[in-house]
């Protein structure tokens, strides 16, 4: 059963490390994670994605989570280019958050290279991976999916499947569009006959 609070050492994701997320709400998880860095001048996030993927990242459509001008998108022609661009951005450290969209499992060498790059730049890296295609080098691994509810269409379930520095866990969360913050929803609110979901 999901626990009622999300520990401070897990949100936002630990900087200087590369993490992983999968699931139908993975992109929302990534954008929410980088939101805390979306202040000040310049871009807050680089999204490195395969150019051959038919799903197009449209910055204006993500404006509720991140200002379009703070999102840079790099489209690559092959997986080796994706990893090379991501490694360079992580090492450079100019951007606080690098999202790496992969299409195959990373081997241990590739995963370690990304970890070393993130440590060198003090950057947070997050691999957006297909299901069951994670790397053993990842600091944490998450699965994120929507929770279908008649009372609240914005609910998500964030499950921490792997944590090198702690224990796994699960949380029902929703993004507060007005306040631009993440709310953790108590499991008691989700039970039949329980109290209404908080505003």
Per-residue pLDDT of the chain (199 residues; tens, 9 = 90+): 555 677 878 888 999 999 999 999 998 898 888 765 444 444 578 999 988 876 666 666 676 667 777 888 899 999 999 999 999 999 999 999 999 999 998 999 999 999 999 999 999 999 999 988 888 899 999 999 999 876 777 799 999 999 998 888 999 998 887 777 788 987 655 544 444 443 3
- CB contact at 8 A, 22 and 131: yes
Beta carbons within 10 angstroms of residue 186's beta carbon: 16
pLDDT for 37: 46
CA pair distance 149, 104, nearest whole angstrom: 33
| Short-list 146, 83, 152, 89, CA closest to 120 | 89
What would the two tokens of residue 36 be? 């805390």
CA separation (Å) from 67 to 35, 40, 41?
9, 12, 12
The pTM is what?
Answer: 0.84
CA pair distance 12, 161, nearest whole angstrom: 16
pLDDT for 193: 43
CA pair distance 141, 163, nearest whole angstrom: 7
Tell me the β-bridge partners of 181: 176
Q: Rounded to a whole number, what is the distance in angstroms from the first to the last CA of the chain?
A: 22
What would the two tokens of residue 60 be? 């204006």
């Amino acid at each position: 059963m999901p626990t009622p609070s999300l520990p401070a050492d897990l949100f936002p994701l630990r900087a200087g490390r590369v993490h992983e997320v999968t699931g139908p709400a993975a992109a929302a998880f990534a954008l929410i994670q980088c939101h805390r860095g979306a202040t000040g001048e310049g871009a807050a996030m680089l999204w490195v994605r395969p150019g051959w993927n038919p799903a197009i990242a449209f910055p204006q459509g993500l404006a509720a989570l991140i200002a379009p001008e703070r999102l840079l998108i790099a489209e690559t022609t092959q997986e080796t280019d994706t990893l090379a661009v991501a490694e360079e951005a992580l090492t450079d450290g100019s951007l606080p958050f690098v999202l790496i969209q992969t299409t195959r499992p990373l081997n241990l060498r590739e995963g370690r290279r990304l970890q070393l790059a993130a440590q060198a730049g003090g950057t947070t890296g997050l691999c957006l991976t297909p299901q069951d295609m994670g790397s053993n080098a990842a600091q944490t691994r998450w699965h994120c999916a929507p929770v279908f509810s008649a009372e609240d269409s914005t609910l998500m379930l964030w499950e921490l499947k792997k944590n090198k520095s702690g224990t796994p866990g699960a949380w029902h969360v929703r993004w507060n569009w007005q306040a631009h913050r993440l709310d953790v929803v108590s499991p008691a609110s989700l039970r039949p006959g329980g109290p209404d979901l908080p505003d």
